[in-house]
Each structure stands twice: as C-alpha cells, then as structure tokens.
Amino acid sequence: MKLLFTKSKWEMWDDPLEDFLQRAAADGFEAVEIYLPAQPESASEIAARVSDHGLLLVAQIITEGETPEDHLRSLQERFAKAEESEPLLINSHTGCDVFGFAENCRIYREACRLSEESGILFTQETHRGRPTGSGPMTRDLLREIPELRLNADFSHWFCVHESDLRNQSETVELAIRHSSHIHARVGFSEGPQVPDPLAPEYRDWTDLHLDLWKRILDVRKKAGASFLTITPEFGPPPYMPVEPFTGRPLADAWDVNVRFRDYLKPILTSNENPVGTLS
C-alpha cells in the first residue's frame, strides 16, 4: 500500500494555482488537495495542471444551502464537476448538523450512490457543523449507512467533546474502520488546532492523534487498499492562533505542515508502506 502525503492549498487560498502546484511539488508532496469551487480554472484544466507537475489530486467540495434539498442539489452538481477533474478521490464537507437525522441520511445515501456509480472514492470529512462533527452523530450515520467512507479529521472531535476521546473508544474504532483519508491536524480539548504539533507542550495531544492514524493505516493495509492519502492540514489564521494586537501568526502554517509531514513519514512508513506515486 502506498502512503501519499498530500498538500492542501489552504495557506495559498488566493494565490494562483500554478504557484501552489510548483511549491507543493518542490516540497516533495505526492498529491494536492484543492477546494474546486474556489478555483477559476475548469475541472479539466485543474486536472491537466496537476498532472503536469507529476501530482495526484484530492478534489474537495462542500454541500451548502438553507434546506436539505439545497444540500442534495449542491452535492450532485459539485460532485459532477469534481468528477471531471480526474481525482484520486473526492473529499466533502456534507450535510448540516441542524438537519434531522433522516434528512442527513438522505444526503449521505446520495453521496454513496454517486461514489458507487462513478467508481470514485468519496470520503465524508469529520467536521464541526456537519453530521460528522461529533462521535455519536457519526456513529449513528455509520450504523445506518455502513458503506459510508470517512476522511478522519479527529482534531474536531477532541475539541467538540473537550476530551481525549477515551470515553467513546467503540465509536472511535468504528470511525477508524470506515476511514479512507486522513487530515493530519492536531486538535486539543479547547480548539481544533494547536499552533505546532511538534512543540513539547502539545506532545500528548500529538501522540493521541498519531495512535489513531496508525490504526487507520493498519486497517487499510489489512483491507488490501492500494493507497492511503494523508494531508497535514494546519491552517492559516484564524485557524492558526495569532499574537494579540499585532495579529502575527504564532507559526507559519505551510512550514508546520512540511515539518509535520517530515516527522510523520518515518513513523508511518516501512518497507511494507512505501511513500510514492501509485504504480
């Protein structure tokens, strides 16, 4: 199984696509994760440019609107456009936590249908504000729709539950078994992002996350998966804390993501888990 370290465009949100792709490739990432609706380029042009740099693409979309029907419609429209970008997989913030359970299940069942018909892996990100924003809500979704695949961003759960998640080990294990993509950001009981996961004061939180990612890796290996994508995803302000009055970020998010990738790579890789492009 190949481990593919992926670079998000988050820190270069308003920068030209070409500048981002050049930097991601130069920093040694195997793939990029791009929120397609924010890009002026067509999906096919994005696909061509990503390929020109020898990279793979994780296409990112969201569903939005005031009603479940709005979310269904945006899901269908944006998935169709993402499909045109020839992605390795599509990742989505899907549904809304204020909708009823049955309404969100309709949306997630449609996501599974789109994935099955297209043959494209479609992961649903565990994210605040979505039905996957907490452990219990995600557990109920997975029990109702067992074919659902997740992008494991556990940083949100540590924050939402204000805990180390040890009191819901069965739910965490269920989510691990359903995870096919990882957002490797470290959260803590009071927020979804520490400034720097390699700082000693955050070591315990980093180790908690790392244990979960190792378990996902083990499950995917045993399932015979051909790849696992991992996106170090520390974001710029306001996700990155800033100094009072000056507004200066406590750390450079791009630098943090590169250093964290370099930290994770030897831990998560071995002869059985090479890093590199898909054969």
Angle at 59 between CA 57 and CA 65, to 5 degrees: 175
Does 187 fall in a domain?
A: yes
Q: pLDDT value at position 242? A: 97
Does 19 fall in a domain?
A: yes
Q: What is the pLDDT of residues 197-219, one digit of tens each?
A: 999 999 999 999 999 999 999 99
For residue 177, the domain's CATH number is 3.20.20.150
Per the structure, the count of domains in the chain is 1
Does 279 fall in a domain?
A: no
Using alpha carbons, list the distances in angstroms from residue 125 to 44, 92, 108, 158, 182. 24, 6, 12, 15, 9
What mean pLDDT do residues 40-68 have? 98
The answer to whether the beta carbons of residues 15 and 235 sit under 8 Å apart is no
What mean pLDDT do residues 51-68 have? 98
Q: pLDDT value at position 279? A: 38
Q: pLDDT value at position 184? A: 99
Does 104 fall in a domain?
A: yes
Report d(CA 100, CA 148) in Å as an integer.
Answer: 18
Report d(CA 235, CA 233) in Å as an integer.
Answer: 6
Q: pLDDT value at position 277? A: 42
Does 129 fall in a domain?
A: yes
Helical ranges in the chain per DSSP H = 17-26, 43-52, 68-83, 101-118, 135-144, 155-160, 169-177, 203-222, 253-268
**Which residues are CB-neighbours of 262 under 8 A, at least 6 positions away?**
none
Does 60 fall in a domain?
A: yes
What mean pLDDT do residues 178-195 have? 98
Report d(CA 243, CA 221) in Å as an integer.
Answer: 42
Q: pLDDT value at position 247? A: 97
Q: pLDDT value at position 217? A: 98
Q: What is the pLDDT of residues 121-174, one digit of tens each?
A: 999 999 999 999 999 999 999 999 999 999 999 999 999 999 999 999 999 999
Q: pLDDT value at position 136? A: 98
Report d(CA 279, CA 146) in Å as an integer.
Answer: 29
Q: Give the CB-side neighbour count of residue 202, counting CA atoms within 13 A.
A: 19
DSSP H or E run through 184: strand 179-184
| Residue 269 or 169, more confident | 169
Please report which confidence band the pLDDT of residue 31 belongs to, taking 50, 70 and 90 as the band edges. very high
Q: What is the pLDDT of residues 75-110, one digit of tens each?
A: 999 999 999 999 999 999 999 999 999 999 999 999
The answer to whether the beta carbons of residues 130 and 137 sit under 8 Å apart is no
Does 273 fall in a domain?
A: no
Report d(CA 74, CA 102) in Å as an integer.
Answer: 18
pTM of the model: 0.95
Does 277 fall in a domain?
A: no
The single-letter DSSP state of residue 242 is B
Domain range for residue 214? Answer: 2-268
Q: What is the pLDDT of residues 152-162, one digit of tens each?
A: 999 999 999 99
